[in-house]
Chain A
Amino acid sequence: MTGIIDYGAGNLKSLCNTLEAIGADQKLIRQPDDLDGIKTIIFPGVGAFGDCARHLENQELINPLREWIQQDRPFLGICIGFQMLFEGSDESPGCSGLGVLPGQVVRFPDIPGMKVPHMGWNQVHLKDEDDHAWDGLGKSPYFYFVHSYFPQPVNESIIASTTPYGNSFVSSVRRGQLLATQFHPEKSQSAGFRLIRNFLQETSS
C-alpha cells in the first residue's frame, strides 16, 4: 500500500490518477495513524514551503516522517515534498523543514531574461543512469518543472541529477530508498509514469 501525504493544500489528483493507472493501491495520509500498513510514502506538494510545514505540524506528521526517512523506508518526495526534506527555505524564513537532509532551499538568481518560475520541460541529467529508478529513461530525460526555489544539498553524494537553468541546479536526490525530485513525474507523461512505476516496483520487491 502506497501512502500519499495529504496536507490539505496540494493538488493530489494527478498523482492519485497516476497510481490508479499503474494499478498501485493507495491511501491518503492525513494523520500519524494513517501510516499503519503503508509500505511506501509519496509526498507530493505544490504551493509554499511555510504553508506545507505548518500543515504537517498541525497534523503531527513531522516526527513520523522524520523517523520514516531515518529508518530508510521507501519515500518519494515531489517538488515541495523534495524541498521539505531540507532544513529551511528562503521562501519562508524562520520556518523549519524536516531537516533530514542538510542544506537550504534557495531562489533562482535574478538574471535578465531568465523567467521565474522555471516552468516547463527541461532536461534531467542523470548521475547514475543504471539506478533502477531511471530504467528505460536514457541519460537525460525531459521532465515537467514548475518552481521558483530549489534545494542546495550540503552532501553532494546524494545528488541524483542536475538540470540546466541559470546555473545547474540539483533536480533530484537519492539516498537508499529515498528518491526526491524537484520536477513533477505525475505531470511528465510517459517519462514520469515510468519513473513512478520503477520506484514502486523497486520498493515493493
Chain B
Amino acid sequence: MFTSGLTKRIIPCLDVTDGRVVKGTKFLELRDAGDPVECALAYNDQGADELVFLDITASSDGRDTMVDVVERTARKCFMPLTVGGGIRTVEDMRVMLHAGADKVGVNTAAVNDPGIISGGAEAFGSQCIVVAIDAKRQPETDSWQVYTHGGRTPVDLDALKWARQVEKFGAGEILLTSMDADGTKDGYDIELTAQVSQSLNIPVIASGGAGKLEHMADVLDRGKADAVLAASIFHFGEYTVGDVKDYLVSKGVPVRPLHVET
C-alpha cells in the first residue's frame, strides 16, 4: 500500500454531432440544452472533475464545427477537456489541442496505425493521449475482443493485450468501454475493468453501463478504475455529479469536494 490523496474522477461525456449534443439532455435550467457549451458549463457548476466530448459527426464540415465548440467551451470552462471521435492524424490532434482541448482520444485510428499514439505522445506528451478501447466479452475464451468504428467492426485483438501495447506506445490513459454493458444501465463490467486496470500502470477510465450510483462505487472499488465516465445517467437529470460524489463519500471512495472553502 502507499499513501495517496488522489481522488477518483467523475467524468460526464457529451456526444456531439454537427455542433449539437445528441442524446437529449434534460437540463431544465438551460436555455438551450442541445448546446454543448451550455451543457459543459452546467457540468462545470455541478463539480465534474473533467469533461469528454465525443464527436460523432460524419462529415468533415461538421468537424470544423467541433473545433469551434471546443474553442468556445475552453473560453468558459476551466477544467480538463478531452475530445475524441474522428481524430485520425497527429495533425488532427494538434488542431483540437490548439482549440483548447487538454487531451485527445483515439480509437480506430490507433488500431489502424499505433504510430499515431507514439507520434502524438512525442509531439504533445503522453498526458495528452487517451486511447479509447471498445471491448466485447468472448465467453468461449473468457477474454474480451477489441472493436473499432464505434463498436461496429471486430478486430483480431485481445483487449487486455492491446491495452498493454498502447501503454508501451505512449498512451497516458485508457478509456475502457464495455460493449456488453454499454446502454444496459446494469452496471459496468467489473471484471474487464479490474483486469485492465491492474495490468497497467496508467490510469483507466471505466465506461458503459452506469445506471445507479452503486455501479459507480463498485467499478471504482472492485473494478479498480481511476475514473468513471457516464452519459445518460447525467443527461437525463437522474443524478447530478454532486449526487454521485455524495454517494461515493458515504461509501468511503475519495472524491474532490464540490466547493472550495472560502
| A residues neighboring B (CB under 8 Å) | 9, 11, 13-14, 17-18, 20-21, 46-48, 111, 113-123, 136-139, 141-142, 144-147, 163-168, 186-194
A73: min CB distance to chain B, Å: 26
A190, B260: Cβ atoms closer than 8 Å: yes
- In the complex, 16 of the A-B residue pairs with CB atoms within 8 angstroms, ordered by the A residue number, are A11-B98, A17-B74, A17-B75, A46-B125, A114-B2, A116-B201, A117-B203, A119-B127, A119-B226, A121-B256, A136-B260, A141-B260, A144-B80, A164-B4, A187-B78, A193-B78
A17, B100: Cβ atoms closer than 8 Å: yes
Q: Tell me whether A120 and B203 are in contact in the complex, defined as CB-CB below 8 angstroms, given that A20-B75, A137-B260, A190-B260 are known contacts.
A: yes
A120, B79: Cβ atoms closer than 8 Å: no
Question: Main SS of chain A's interface residues?
Answer: mixed
In the assembled complex, B7 has its CB within 8 A of some CB on chain A: yes
Assembled-state Cα–Cα distance A164/B5 (Å): 5
B4, A165: Cβ atoms closer than 8 Å: yes
Residues of A within 8 A of B172 (CB): 117, 119, 146
Residues of B within 8 A of A142 (CB): 7, 256-257, 260
Residues of A within 8 A of B259 (CB): 190
Chain B contacts with A in 217-234, Cβ cutoff 8 A = 226-227
B3, A166: Cβ atoms closer than 8 Å: yes
Residues of B within 8 A of A147 (CB): 127
B241: min CB distance to chain A, Å: 12
Residues of A within 8 A of B28 (CB): none
Assembled-state Cα–Cα distance A119/B205 (Å): 11
**Chain A residue at minimum C-beta to C-beta distance from B200:** A115
Residues of A within 8 A of B108 (CB): none
**Chain B residue at minimum C-beta to C-beta distance from A15:** B78
A46, B124: Cβ atoms closer than 8 Å: yes
In the assembled complex, B182 has its CB within 8 A of some CB on chain A: no
Residues of A within 8 A of B125 (CB): 46-48
In the assembled complex, B97 has its CB within 8 A of some CB on chain A: yes
**Chain A residue at minimum C-beta to C-beta distance from B262:** A136
Assembled-state Cα–Cα distance A168/B6 (Å): 12
In the assembled complex, B261 has its CB within 8 A of some CB on chain A: yes
B227, A120: Cβ atoms closer than 8 Å: yes
Assembled-state Cα–Cα distance A9/B127 (Å): 13
Residues of A within 8 A of B44 (CB): 189
Residues of B within 8 A of A119 (CB): 127, 172-173, 203, 226
Across the interface, B6 reaches (CB within 8 A) one of A46, A122, A138, A186, namely: A122
Chain B contacts with A in 55-79, Cβ cutoff 8 A = 74-76, 78-79
**Chain A residue at minimum C-beta to C-beta distance from B4:** A165
B49, A121: Cβ atoms closer than 8 Å: yes
Assembled-state Cα–Cα distance A134/B200 (Å): 36
Residues of B within 8 A of A116 (CB): 201-202
